[in-house]
Amino acid sequence: MSEDRIERETLIAASLEHVWSLVAQPGFWVADKASLPGTVARAGETMIAKHPEHGEFPVRVEKVEPPTYLAYRWASAFPGEEPRENNSTLVEFTLTREGDQTLLRVVESGFAALAGSEELRTQSLHDNSGGWPLELDALRTRAEQTSA
């Protein structure tokens, strides 16, 4: 594994359009799920993703290419701080139709450029590496349960 990026994929038994509707909710991977309905990613906008245990995380929408690509920036190692180049990572989601299913790929990068100690960078990479499988499983479950 690179010390600068995390890459994960999951196959979801739901349409690309349905998965897109869930992934296009800024900060879905960290926000309290009850706060997400009605939120939609718009390039250049920032949303506060609130998590009851971990705090508040401003999530900036970097790029939106419906229905196959989204990029967000967030400062996971610096809760509450606005995302900047030296305190945030880039989270990219790519959706690909696989028959009647959707392949969702996430790439989070930029850990090596985080300000602070080497320990902070290593811990951030470690924490997020452990978090993505859980978040993708939760998203897959949500998508498959709510799919028409």
**DSSP string spanning 47-105?**
EEEEETTTEEEEEEEEEEETTTEEEEEE-TTSTTSPP-TTT-EEEEEEEEEETTEEEEE
What residue segments make up the domains of the chain, in order of their start? Answer: 9-146
Joined tokens for residue 137: 């499983």
Select 9-146's CATH number: 3.40.50.10240, 3.30.530.20, 3.40.50.150, 3.40.605.10.
3.30.530.20
pLDDT band at 2 (very low <50, low <70, confident <90, very high): low
Output the pLDDT for position 53: 85
Output the pLDDT for position 31: 86
Residue with more model confidence, 54 or 132:
132
Mean model confidence pLDDT for the chain:
92
**Rg of the chain over CA atoms, in angstroms?**
15
Q: What's the sign of the alpha-carbon dihedral 16, 18, 19, 20?
A: positive
Under 8 Å between Cβ of 81 and 69: no
Query: What is the per-residue pLDDT across 35-51, written as a single tens digit (0 to 9) for each?
Result: 777 788 999 999 999 88
Q: How far apart are CA 68 and CA 89, in angstroms?
A: 20
Cβ–Cβ contacts within 10 Å for residue 134, how many?
10
